[in-house]
Structure 1
Amino acid sequence: MAQKLLLIDTDCGIDDAVAIIVALAAPAVKVLGITCCFGNTDVDNVCQNVMRVLTVCQQTQIPVFKGAACPLIGPVKGFKDHFGTDGLGDVLENSEIWKEQIQKENAVHAMMRLVNENPGDVSLIALGPLTNLALAVRLDPTFPQKLKDLYIMGGNMEGKGNLIPSAEFNFRMDAESAYIVLEEYTCPTHIATWEFTCRNKLSWECFDEMVNQDTAAARFLKKITSKCWAYSREPRNINKDVLFGNGFVPYDAFAVAACLDSSVITESLKCAVRVEVEGQLGRGMMVVDAANTLKKDHLAFVMNTCDLKKFSLMLKKSFQIA
């Protein structure tokens, strides 16, 4: 079986860590590299977090690259503590070792090089703000054409948001980059939106089965979620449709799972999409244009329904292996 080649772009928080572990545990998959950007925390913490995950999984041979520290336009608006101030629950000791482990090459240049070395064969998975991807297409407008496909966790499909009322975190953190990517990446593009992931939350029983396995990855996940308020079993959001407290939502893992096994996603809406970059309430919102009134030639696949049994089994198996 031919190896599936992955390139992962991340703002490594707890959900990114889960997604990366799922990718690392998959058979017949080679992760060519992991590129880092700001998002859940600052880019230095992101780099350290990725190295922590790779160390736990004993895969530190995978190269890690430091990328964008802020959005294309303006400063970072401020980091949220959804996954702790360091992105991994504020339970791990800081170390300077990661600085020696990170590659010297810039993440955007590395992304372009790795894809140029494997034209048409690389699946790019984007788990954070899309700044690195936007910079890549600005440096090389042909970059998207060299990808096999693109999987994104971000955006929204029903006008519901988590950072502001109508925009999802990753897209809102750099709305211009999200706009550029959805306009200029013409490779097959698959999007796991905020509402989609929340609708497909897993039970806390499933989460307990994952973290109580006798493996390094399971123990790691149990530790980094142990004091994180986002993993409280108590409801915290009055919006019952996106109530995190009713279950475990491994947001970014949906994008990785869809890339690894397309049958995990049982239905997608093929449609035009565009990101709103103006206004206060709508900035960063992804508009889903099912009728293609935008007259776009490139249509995205917006994930709609999921085989939760298959997805949960993939996650459990990944934490058995790692």
Structure 2
Amino acid sequence: MSKKLLLLDVDCGVDDAQAIMMALAAPDVHVLGIMCTHGNANIENVCKNVLRVLKVCQRTEIPVYRGAGASILEEQLNGAQYHGKDGLGDVPDCNAPGLEHLQAEYAVNAITRIVTEHPGQVSLVATGPLTNIALAFKMDRTFPSKLKHLYIMGGNMESRGNVAICSEFNFAADPEAAYIVLNHFACPMYIATWEYCLRHVLPWEFFNEWVNQGTEKACFMKKITAHSEKFAKGKQGDREMYFGPGFVSCDSFAVAAAIDESVVTEYIRYGVSVELQGSVTRGMMIVDTLNALQKENQAFIMTKCDVEKLKQLMMSALK
């Protein structure tokens, strides 16, 4: 059986690294390239982080492309509080690959080129702000129709936010890009929302087993997650209520669904959009339960996960 073809579009923080390593470890998956975007860290650090992950996984042959350094409106959020200032827990490696290892081609151009070379065969997994993907659509309006699937980690289904009252980080970081993608992509679209991730929080006991496997990958993961583990376990600002009583690897949920569709055991299907104007709701994902938007292409919103299968994929990622 031929391998699944994936493109990854990431803002490489700690959970993006986890998701990338999961994709690389899947035996029936071929990662065609990794596109970098702003988000958890600035674009230079995002690129460095991806190259660093590939080196640890001994997969430096996978091309890495630099993409958008800010949102469509030139705004920036960052996830330093959780991910560290550099995006990977502020534990630098003096032997990490430099930016000279990036491809010369811009990420947005590479996305449209690669998908055009493999029409109907490539699934795109987006674990950061959707800027590169929205710009790819602006460059080539036929681009969405050439995708096999689009998997997104982002948005929310119950107006629960994490960087604002009603908006999740990836959508809040570029609401216009999220609006473009959710309203103009006709390929099957699967969304792992913030609430979906929180509902399937993993026990800290599993986390400890996961990062203490003794392999080079596990030691790397233990090092880069120390900062976010400390933050998540902190009591200031009711963080346990915020994250739940355990470990949340948001981006892994989207990649797991792309690797093995049986990981997601239940979806709801509705038209979706994004609020752009609200004073407290900008960036919030709109779930059209009344079908008022009359959308032909409705998104598959993940609601239930086979947590044991997710754990198996995560364990395999660090072997």
TM-score w.r.t. the length of structure 2 is: 0.96
1:280 CA drift (Å): 2.2
Root-mean-square deviation over aligned CA pairs: 1.6
Report matched runs for 1:11-22 at 5 Å. 11-22=11-22
Q: Distance in 1 between matches of 2:12 and 2:76?
A: 16
Q: Secondary structure at the match of 2:227?
A: coil
For 2:303, the equivalent position in structure 1 comes to: 304
1:104 CA drift (Å): 0.4
Q: Tell me if structure 1 keeps the 8 A contact 2:40–2:77.
A: no
Q: Which letter does structure 1 place at the counterpart of 2:124? A: L
Q: Secondary structure at the match of 1:47?
A: helix
Q: Distance in 2 between matches of 1:108 and 1:230?
A: 35
Q: Secondary structure at the match of 1:269?
A: strand
Q: Secondary structure at the match of 2:304?
A: strand
For 1:210, the equivalent position in structure 2 comes to: 210
For 1:60, the equivalent position in structure 2 comes to: 60
The answer on 1:264 being equivalent to 2:263 is yes
For 1:51, the equivalent position in structure 2 comes to: 51
The answer on 1:275 being equivalent to 2:277 is no
Evaluate the alpha carbon distance shift between residue 303 and residue 78 of structure 1 in structure 2; reply closer, same or farther with a 3 A threshold. Answer: closer
Q: Tell me if structure 1 keeps the 8 A contact 2:201–2:244.
A: no
1:28 CA drift (Å): 1.6
Report matched runs for 1:1-322 at 5 Å. 1-77=1-77, 80-93=80-93, 97-228=97-228, 231-238=231-238, 243-244=242-243, 246-320=245-319
1:213-248 superposed Cα distances (whole Å, 9 cap, x missing partner): 0211111110011233555434455387x5325101
Q: Distance in 2 between matches of 1:70 and 1:254?
A: 25
The unaligned stretches of length 5 or more in structure 2 are none
1:293 CA drift (Å): 1.2
Q: Secondary structure at the match of 1:293?
A: coil
Q: Distance in 2 between matches of 1:210 and 1:310?
A: 14
TM-score w.r.t. the length of structure 1 is: 0.95
Q: Distance in 2 between matches of 1:235 and 1:79?
A: 19
Evaluate the alpha carbon distance shift between residue 43 and residue 145 of structure 1 in structure 2; reply closer, same or farther with a 3 A threshold. Answer: same
Q: Tell me if structure 1 keeps the 8 A contact 2:80–2:86.
A: no
Q: Which letter does structure 2 place at the counterpart of 1:246? A: P
1:60 CA drift (Å): 0.3
Evaluate the alpha carbon distance shift between residue 95 and residue 139 of structure 1 in structure 2; reply closer, same or farther with a 3 A threshold. Answer: farther
* 243-252 or 167-176, which deviates more: 243-252
Q: Secondary structure at the match of 1:151?
A: strand
1:79-128 superposed Cα distances (whole Å, 9 cap, x missing partner): 54210011100011367842111000000001111101111000000000
Q: Tell me if structure 2 keeps the 8 A contact 1:235–1:243.
A: no
Q: Distance in 1 between matches of 2:230 and 2:252?
A: 16
Q: Tell me if structure 2 keeps the 8 A contact 1:137–1:143.
A: yes
Q: Distance in 1 between matches of 2:220 and 2:126?
A: 23
The unaligned stretches of length 5 or more in structure 1 are none
1:175 CA drift (Å): 0.2
Q: Secondary structure at the match of 1:303?
A: strand
Q: Secondary structure at the match of 1:111?
A: helix
Identity %: 50
Evaluate the alpha carbon distance shift between residue 10 and residue 230 of structure 1 in structure 2; reply closer, same or farther with a 3 A threshold. Answer: farther
Evaluate the alpha carbon distance shift between residue 22 and residue 183 of structure 1 in structure 2; reply closer, same or farther with a 3 A threshold. Answer: same
Q: Secondary structure at the match of 1:123?
A: strand
Q: Distance in 1 between matches of 2:27 and 2:165?
A: 39
Q: Secondary structure at the match of 1:227?
A: helix
* 32-41 or 80-89, which deviates more: 80-89
